[in-house]
A and B are shown apart, each in its own frame.
Chain A
Amino acid sequence: MNRRRLIGLLLWLYVGAVFAFIFAPIVTSFVVSLNVDRFPTLPLGGFSTKWYQAIVEDPTLLPAMRNTLLAGVAVAVLSTLLGFGAAYTDFRYHFFGKNVYLALALLPPTIPVVILGLAMLVFLSQVSLFGKLHSVIISHVVVCLPFAMALVRLRLSQMDPSLEAAAWNLGASQWRALREIILPFTLPAILAALFITMAVSFDEFAIAWFVSGFNETLPVRILAMFQGQVSPRINAIGSIVFVVSMTLVVLAQAILVTRRPKAAP
């Protein structure tokens, strides 16, 4: 019995180590961004907000931030709309070629972003859509809508399909049933999808690097800063990026967990 205890203890120590590895860079980024040393090492130097002051004064960051936020909002709304439509179509209809339909809706995140980025660059420049903020939006919707589709689809699979049919039988039009049955039921998933897709767009740098031209987004700007010297300024921006994307992802999860339908008896 004691041996079993020991194995259990070692197992949990190991779990702790894995989570420590996963969170080490996130925690360290915050620490480094608030540390006075340019080349952080042990023992740590004093506390300082100078790296945050430096990024506030950097003239290239504000437009990049603006681009990222604009793109993020547009991508979130568009991909949630398209993803909702696709999830509902999968939930309700059976049709020829449905597998292809679902593949188009779900596959993009499994394609390496470098391949997708190059494909977007080559294609968008042929149809004169390259190098603008809308190029980023178009490409990000492609990779973000699968997340929205999956979230809404999972939620729909928890719904009793006869609810909608009951509404029709009581004389509701299809649109009214959608508005009064489907939309309220999927609302948590829709909100979660908005947050998750915004987070994905907010952090995506590779496709954006290929297609954004001079309209850099924040992650593309950060990538460009890597080419220069090591600087805790990057950690200062990075910490802000962490806070924003973690807030979005935590909000999405909180909505999904608190609004989970009660388990069937």
Chain B
Amino acid sequence: MKRTNAYGLVLGLPMLVWQLLFFAAPLAFLVVMSFWLVRNFRLAPDFSLDNWIKLLGAGYFWDIYLRTLLNGLLAAILASVLAFPCAYALAFRASVSLRWLGVFLLITPFFTSYLVRTYTWKVILTGNGIVNAALGLIGLGPFMMVNNIFGTVIGYLTLVLPLVVLLQLFSLAYVDRTLIEAAHNLRCGGLRTVFQVVIPAAKTGLVLAATFAFILAYGDYVSPSLLGGSKPPTLSILIVDVVKSGANWPQASVVAVMMAMTLLVVSFAALIFAYGRPKARA
């Protein structure tokens, strides 16, 4: 089946054309747009570095940039740590049917309106909301749980926790059981087995899970705006604000290109780390 034929083209080509036109081209055009200018409220094609110089020279941009990066890292680390015992229990301590039930219960919310889930957290956590009322009954609080980083993090975890547990579970399920038995036979304690045998063996999947958590939280708009109160802003909020307030698309494009480049660098670093050979242990 070497020669190209109509059959193969009819099946394979439509996706390629669609994604080139509506995925690759828009992203490439975003880079072009970052060099355009706005004159008299109209877009003017140009090759100007003005937008770049203006934005990268602004102190507030780097504040936002750093904060967004730290938010993403925080979400990735927290989600990885919080998810691990859960994924571990489902992978090693659960029966097959219980594990499938777990997978089912994790996939379903992942595809279920993140927007409404976040909004409901606001109802739950707000000043005189359900959690504060419950805490009040035992004489605690009220605590400020929204419009700050706590709220933002709850939102991030809502977004990424199901996915991180799932990905960790899949990578743990492929860990060779005989490795663990060997560790036990050699009198390696439970916790030590987890840290020195299980985690290194599942490293690739665990790093990928954390990377996805980072990507999702880094780009998220809803949690930092709705639960974090938009102040201080993140890069996504900056993009939306710029687009909303004056249609300065070139400036918004600069922010988006910076975000995309950052994600590219982080993802590549994570991939190299994930697929790097684990150091041989003495």
Also in contact, A246 and B108, with CB within 8 A (given A86-B12, A145-B15, A203-B115): yes
Count of chain A residues with Cβ under 8 Å from any Cβ of B? 87
Interface centre among B102, B122, B219, B253 (most CB of A within 10 A): B219
Point out the residues of chain A lying under 8 angstroms from B249, CB to CB: 118, 121-122
Which of B22-30, B50-58, B171-179 binds A? B22-30
Q: Chain A binding site: helix, strand, loop or mixed by DSSP?
A: helix
Q: Is B128 an interface residue (CB 8 A)?
A: yes
Also in contact, A145 and B18, with CB within 8 A (given A14-B85, A23-B109): yes
Q: By the criterion CB–CB under 8 Å, are B82 and A25 in contact?
A: no
Q: How far is the CB of A136 from chain B (nearest CB, A)?
A: 12
Point out the residues of chain A lying under 8 angstroms from B105, CB to CB: 19, 22-23
Point out the residues of chain A lying under 8 angstroms from B277, CB to CB: none
Chain B's interface size range is 35 or more
In the complex, which of the residues A11, A40, A116 contacts B85, with contact meaning CB atoms closer than 8 Å? A11
Q: By the criterion CB–CB under 8 Å, are A14 and B26 in contact?
A: no
Q: Provide the bound-state CA to CA distance between A219 and B11, in Å.
A: 33
Point out the residues of chain B lying under 8 angstroms from A85, CB to CB: 10-15
Q: Which A residues, 114 to 141, have Cβ-Cβ distances below 8 Å to chain B?
A: 114-116, 118-124, 126, 138-139, 141
Q: By the criterion CB–CB under 8 Å, are A226 and B86 in contact?
A: no
Q: Is B40 an interface residue (CB 8 A)?
A: no
Q: Is B150 an interface residue (CB 8 A)?
A: no
Point out the residues of chain A lying under 8 angstroms from B88, CB to CB: 11
Q: Provide the bound-state CA to CA distance between A1 and B267, in Å.
A: 43
Closest residue of chain B to A23 (Cβ to Cβ) is B109
Q: By the criterion CB–CB under 8 Å, are A203 and B111 in contact?
A: yes
Q: Provide the bound-state CA to CA distance between A112 and B239, in Å.
A: 12
Q: How far is the CB of B43 from chain A (nearest CB, A)?
A: 9
Report 21 cross-chain contacts, Cβ distance below 8 Å, ordered by A residue.
Answer: A12-B89, A19-B105, A22-B109, A25-B158, A28-B124, A32-B123, A40-B123, A41-B128, A41-B133, A85-B10, A85-B14, A112-B259, A119-B26, A123-B25, A142-B19, A175-B7, A199-B111, A205-B115, A230-B122, A242-B113, A246-B112
